[in-house]
């Protein structure tokens, strides 16, 4: 959320205008239900009963597994592009707006960016709805006479979905209807249109869009269906990897015409992995590590101890190549392993022992060896097999 907006002084009243489903989504993004374990000493750990230690270790594991969202420089650039987009204005004769497509290699944090964006748009819409209603301006509840909890429709300004399987255009709209628990029959696209109109939906966010089948005749229908969402003045935000490859030219004229319509309206927003070349990139990486280490609750570490940002910053980049998902995997495993030792501390031996996903694990020992010999090529762009863009 932009700093100029300020904090909503009536945040609770605004939130009550959202559905229970949307409030639950915000809580999940904020991890509101996550229990923060107390900081204990090694002596206190030893004094725990078996059941107490069992519960504490589970709470500790859950806490360490919840990696904080860090707004890196590349994430900040993506948020700026998303924030500069014109606000949606559903209705007749609406202006056509660009489709925003957040793309990049897997594991660079695209999904977290879209989750944060969804939360921000939900909170903004709820605040605007409250202010409009208080000032007698046109609003969802004032215009329709429906109150929160009404039996017809609740205010649903943003629909967010993350696809988990390959779908065609019909399957896409079935998934959208399912995400808002809206019934559909033979024409899920028509059903979803009814929902958006009735619930005052302004933005549709579809993550993992690479699961949509863009090939052949189906691809033509998909491009047309996505264009249809924006034709009504609604904002469409997509997220997925290898989107440039998916937008490759088609041989069949009709399919190429549909692709070109999307190509002329899609704005690609690139999200990169974190680099470690110049001072700004190193500061960015260390900022991420600092955000994580401030949450470490191991008894062997002091609160906020710079164990990652000072002791292991270079090593962690060499092992993970700057991919946030690989860093998360490595740290979750290492923190769990350290919690089972008597000293309760992260060590190089522990980091060396735990693995990450295949992309970063391949060639890992060679990279570590070169780094320990002080010959690591920091500016080299290590190739990865999933990079089809």
Most confident of 96-100, 106-110, 150-154: 106-110
Domain boundary among 235, 270, 305: 270
User: Among all chains, which residue has been given the structure tokens 């960015």?
Assistant: 284
* For residues 19-23, average pLDDT: 92
What six digits make up the tokens of 337? 């392993």
Is residue 58 in some structural domain?
A: yes
The pLDDT score that the predictor gives to residue 257 is: 64
Answer whether residue 228 shows pLDDT above 70. Answer: yes
Say what the pLDDT of residue 242 is. 74
| Residue 122, in any domain of the structure | yes
Q: Total domain count for the chain? A: 2
Mean of pLDDT values over 32-40: 92
Tokens 């005749």, located at residue: 217
Per the rule left: phi > 0, alpha: psi between -120 and 50, beta: everything else, 322 is left
At residue 148, the pLDDT reads 47
Distance CA 170, CA 193 (A): 13
**Predicted local distance difference test score (pLDDT) of residue 4:** 53
12, 15, 138, 142 from 145: Cα distances, Å: 21, 18, 11, 5
Q: What is the DSSP letter of 239?
A: E
Q: What does the pLDDT look like over 178-210, one tens digit per residue?
A: 999 999 988 999 999 989 988 889 999 999 988
Residues 322 and 225 in one domain: no
Domain with residue 104: its CATH number is: 3.40.50.300
CA 358 to the chain's CA centroid: 22
Would you place residue 1 in the very low, low, confident or very high pLDDT band (cuts 50, 70, 90)? Answer: low
- Range of the structural domain that residue 204 is part of: 73-270
pTM for this model (two decimals): 0.89
Same domain, yes or no: 288 and 318: yes
Q: Does residue 5 lie within any of the structural domains? A: no
> Does residue 256 share a domain with residue 150?
yes
Here the tokens at position 160 are 């967010």
Per the listing, tokens 């078996």 go with 50
Residue 325 lies in a domain: yes
If asked whether residues 338 and 310 sit together in one domain, one would say yes
More confident residue, 261 or 389: 261
Cα 178 to Cα 188: distance, rounded to the nearest angstrom: 10
Q: Is 240 found in the same domain as 367?
A: no
Rounded to an integer, the average pLDDT of 48-71 is: 95
Residue 389 falls within a domain, yes or no?
no
Give per-residue pLDDT as tens, 299-348: 999 999 999 999 999 999 999 999 999 999 999 999 999 999 999 999 99
Residues 189 and 336 grouped into a single domain: no
Which distant-in-sequence residues (6+ apart) come within 8 Å of 102 by Cβ? 78, 82, 110, 113, 114, 237, 238, 239, 240, 269, 271
Same domain, 320 and 358: yes
Q: Are 118 and 53 within one domain?
A: no
pLDDT at 379: 85
Within 8 A by CB and 6+ apart from 279, the residues are none
255 falls within a domain: yes
Q: Is the pLDDT of residue 176 over 90?
A: yes
Residue 9 lies in a domain: no
Mean pLDDT of 351-369: 94
Quick one: 160 and 243 in the same domain? yes
Q: What is the pLDDT of residues 128-138, one digit of tens each?
A: 999 988 888 87
Backbone angles phi, psi at 266, to 5 degrees: -85, 130
Tell me the average pLDDT across 38-62.
96
- Residue of higher predicted confidence among 121 and 249: 121
**pLDDT tens digits for 284-298?**
999 999 999 999 999
Contact 124, 1 (CB under 8 A): yes
CA angle, 291 then 295 then 299, to 5°:
140
Would the pLDDT of 388 be above 60?
Answer: no
Q: How many residues does the chain have?
A: 389
Do 168 and 215 lie in one domain? The reply is: yes
Q: Look at residue 358 and tell me whether its pLDDT is greater than 60.
A: yes
Percentage of the chain surpassing pLDDT 90? 63
Which long-range contacts does 141-144 make (Cβ < 8 Å, 24+ apart)?
A: 141/17
Q: Alpha-carbon distance 344 to 298, whole Å?
A: 6
């Amino acid at each position: 959320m932009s700093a100029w907006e300020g904090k909503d002084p009536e945040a609770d009243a605004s939130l009550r205008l959202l559905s229970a489903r949307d409030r639950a989504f915000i809580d999940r993004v904020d991890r509101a239900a996550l229990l923060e374990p107390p900081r204990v000493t090694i002596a206190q750990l030893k004094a725990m009963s078996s059941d107490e230690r069992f519960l504490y270790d589970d709470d500790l594991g859950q806490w360490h597994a919840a990696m904080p969202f860090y707004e890196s420089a590349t994430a900040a650039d993506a948020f700026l592009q998303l924030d500069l987009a014109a606000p949606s204005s559903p209705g007749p004769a609406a202006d056509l707006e660009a489709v925003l497509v957040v793309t990049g290699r897997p594991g660079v944090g695209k999904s977290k960016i879209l989750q944060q964006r969804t939360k921000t748009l939900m909170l903004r819409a709820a605040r605007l709805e409250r202010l409009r209603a208080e000032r007698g301006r046109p609003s969802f509840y004032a215009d329709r006479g429906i109150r929160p909890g009404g039996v017809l429709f609740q205010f649903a300004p943003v629909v967010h979905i993350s696809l988990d399987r390959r779908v065609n255009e019909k399957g896409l709209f079935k998934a959208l209807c399912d995400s808002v628990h809206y019934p559909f029959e033979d024409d899920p696209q028509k059903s979803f249109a009814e929902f958006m109109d009735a619930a005052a939906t302004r933005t549709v966010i579809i993550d993992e869009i690479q699961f949509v089948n863009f090939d052949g005749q189906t691809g033509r229908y998909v491009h047309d269906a996505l264009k249809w969402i924006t034709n009504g003045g609604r904002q469409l935000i997509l997220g997925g990897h290898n989107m440039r490859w998916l937008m490759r030219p088609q041989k069949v004229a009709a399919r190429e015409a549909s692709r070109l319509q999307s190509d002329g309206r899609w704005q690609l927003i690139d999200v990169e992995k974190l680099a470690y070349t110049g001072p700004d990139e190193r500061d960015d990486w260390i900022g991420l590590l600092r955000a994580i280490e401030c949450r470490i609750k191991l008894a062997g570490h002091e609160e906020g101890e710079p164990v990652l940002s000072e002791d292991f910053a270079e090593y962690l980049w060499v092992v993970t190549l700057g991919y946030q998902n690989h860093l998360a995997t490595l740290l979750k495993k290492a923190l769990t392993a350290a919690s089972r030792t008597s000293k309760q501390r992260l060590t190089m031996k522990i980091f060396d022992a735990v693995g990450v996903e295949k992309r970063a694990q391949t060639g890992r020992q060679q990279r570590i060896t070169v780094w320990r010999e002080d010959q690591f090529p920091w500016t080299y762009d290590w190739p990865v097999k999933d990079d089809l863009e």
